[in-house]
Amino acid sequence: MIDVASHKIRLLEQSPAVEGQFSHFVESTDWHAMTQSHQEKTEQDVLRALSKSKLNVEDFAALISPAAEPYLLEMAAKSEQLTLQRFGKTLSLFAPLYLSNTCANECTYCGFSMSNAIKRLTLNESQVEKEIAAIKDKGFDHILLVTGETNKVSMPYFERMLPLIKSHFSQLSMEVQPLNSEEYKRLQTIGLDGVLVYQETYRRKTYLEHHLRGNKSNFNYRLDAPDRIGQAGIHKIGLGVLLGLEDWRTDSVMMAHHLRHLQKRYWRSRFSVAFPRIRPCEGGIVPKSIITDRQLVQLIAAWRLFDWDVEMSLSTRESPEFRHHAVRMGFTTMSAESKTQPGGYADDAQAALEQFEISDERPVAEIIAMIRSQGREVVWKNWDPALSHV
Ligand code: SF4
């Protein structure tokens, strides 16, 4: 475990808040006032939110508040119904492909942190080909590229790897270091469809306590990454917070504001949200704010009621039991049989390289059977770049 207090926090020069981008909103928002606001939500606020078809962020705050807990079953049923109406009985599966666990950052919750004494590996072309073959063998057609954050794994590496990987998959997303708009535009021309940048927490003070060194400690630069992705015209933008770093309700309300901010400006893009909870890892921390299974269900249902169109993703961080029960609730995509270490699909003996422990380790065939048992069908390909020009 990393003792945060014993680390000398080296602050990078922080980017200024940019007017018109989301950092400007965060800088002008009082975290405590926002926390107090959702704590004070009443049963009337919850009933009002439940009766509306278009919810604003205040309604969302009411639905994730303690006052909404008695309405959990009603919320879950409505969430399922809305998801069926909008997305049908389908769920798409994707696989994360970890290209590198080399990282120049120090994040207290991550097994890839620079100071962790683990073996580092960045896949070369032939190793990537082996991973692709192993992943295709399982049936996947949607791939999420994941890397640590270092200069060695930046644009020149992405420019080599993307065309190679994209030639095997119909949909390619990335979860890598934040880039600038021109770089996103360039990657779009060689196959990039979506970018996920999880803010981890929207509270600057807490963010700096958990991002001790490296470029990731630049709070505003990360915060404005989704704006830059939208400006580049990327098809899909993914948001997320690491549930447990801070008050999960306040972070979720901030993320709801973030989604609305982006939707107003980049209306051609689609959006997705995810709900990662802190998992055990090499050198990991104890969560500050525990979100129980019941509260996570409440949060998921509230998101679907808040936004009928947003895609929602369920990862293998969650247990088989939780995924089994959550699959009908509002999700549109799910990972399966994930490996969180570079080279892990072709050679599973590399567990010490992993970013965090997977909770649901069932093989893809079992996940498909589970999804079908819940009355849903698996789709491997739910979007084609050609459709964006129609
Ligand atoms: S969370 Fe990302 S940036 Fe931070 S240590 Fe892990 S891989 Fe590096």
| Nearest Cα residue to atom 7 of ligand 1 | 148
pTM of the model as a whole: 0.92
Q: Please report, rounded to a whole number, the percentage of residues in the chain having pLDDT higher than 70.
A: 90
Per-residue pLDDT, 5: 41
Max alpha carbon distance in the chain (Å)? 60
Q: Atom 5, ligand 1: which residue's CA is nearest? A: 113
Task: Kindly report, residue by residue over 188-244, the tens digit of the pLDDT.
Answer: 999 999 999 999 999 999 999 999 999 999 999 999 999 999 999 999 999 999 999
- pLDDT tens digits, 179-202: 999 999 999 999 999 999 999 999
Whole-angstrom CA distances from 251 to 52, 182, 298 are: 23, 29, 15
Model confidence pLDDT, tens digit, residues 332-355: 999 888 888 899 999 865 555 566
Predicted pLDDT at 9: 46
Q: Which of 106, 108, 110 to mutate to test the pocket of ligand 1 (most atoms within 8 A of CB)?
A: 110
- Ranges of beta strands (E only) in the chain are 90-100, 106-107, 142-147, 171-175, 194-196, 211-213, 236-240, 270-274, 311-314, 333-335, 377-379
What's the gap in Å between 212 CA and the centre of ligand 1? 11
* pLDDT of residue 127 exceeding 50: yes
Residues forming a β-bridge with 272: 238, 311
Q: pLDDT band at 43, cuts 50/70/90?
A: very high
Integer-rounded Cα radius of gyration of the chain: 20
Does 282 have pLDDT greater than 90? no
Q: For residues 60-82, give the mean pLDDT.
A: 97
SS3 assignment, position 195 = strand
Q: Say how many Å lie between the CA of residue 116 and the centre of ligand 1.
A: 11
* Helix/strand/coil for 122: strand
Residues constituting the chain: 390
Ligand 1: centre distance to CA 92 (Å): 26
Among protein residues, the one with the nearest Cα to ligand 1's atom 4 is 107
Residue appearing with tokens 């109406």: 85
Residue type, 366: E
What is the distance in A from the centroid of ligand 1 to the CA of 211? Answer: 9
pLDDT at 8 over 50: no
The CB of 112 under 6 Å from ligand 1? The reply is yes
Least confident among 147-151, 168-172, 342-346, 356-360: 356-360
Residue 17 pLDDT > 60 = yes
Instruction: Using the predicted structure, report yes or no on whether residue 3 has a pLDDT greater than 60.
Output: no
Using an 8 Å Cβ cutoff, are 102 and 124 in contact? no
Our answer on whether the CB atom of 353 is closer than 6 Å to any ligand 1 atom is no
What pLDDT score does 143 carry?
Answer: 96
The pLDDT tens digits for 295-327 are 999 999 999 999 999 999 988 888 889 988 888
Average pLDDT over every residue of 27-52? 96
Residue 365 has pLDDT above 60, yes or no: yes
The class of domain 22-382 in CATH terms is alpha beta
- What is the per-residue pLDDT for 286? 80
Q: 152-185: per-residue pLDDT in tens? A: 899 999 999 999 999 999 999 999 999 999 999 9
Q: What's the gap in Å between 181 CA and the centre of ligand 1?
A: 21
Q: Whose CA is nearest to atom 2 of ligand 1?
A: 148
Gap between the Cα atoms of 319 and 237, Å rounded: 26
Q: 6-10, 268-272, 346-350: which has the highest mean pLDDT?
A: 268-272
Cα 12 to Cα 4, 112, 165, 218, 219: the distances in Å are 17, 20, 34, 6, 10
CB of 105 sitting under 6 A from ligand 1: yes
- 99 pLDDT tier (thresholds 50, 70, 90): very high
d(CA 135, CA 143): 9
What whole-number distance in Å separates Cα of residue 352 and Cα of residue 342? 10
Distance CA 334, CA 201 (A): 23
Whether 196 lines ligand 1, by a CB cut-off of 6 Å, is no
- Beta carbon of 358 within 6 Å of any ligand 1 atom: no
CB 199 within 8 A of CB 224: no
Q: Is the CB of 149 under 6 A from ligand 1?
A: yes
Please tell me the predicted confidence (pLDDT) of residue 289.
85
Among 102, 113, 222, residue to substitute to test ligand 1 (most atoms within 8 Å of Cβ): 113
CA–CA separation, 108 vs 130, rounded Å?
31
Per-residue pLDDT at 76: 96
Distance from Cα 147 to the centre of ligand 1, integer Å: 8
pLDDT at 295: 95
Q: Is the pLDDT of residue 15 over 70?
A: yes
Task: Say if CB 194 and CB 174 are below 8 A apart.
Answer: yes
pLDDT at 284: 63
Report the separation in Å between the CA atom of 53 and the middle of ligand 1, taken as the mean of its atom positions: 39
Q: Which pLDDT value is given to residue 1?
A: 37
Answer yes or no: is the C-beta of 110 below 6 A from any ligand 1 atom: yes
- CB-based burial, 303-328: b 16+ in 10 Å, e otherwise: bbbbbbebbbbbbbbbeeebbbebbb
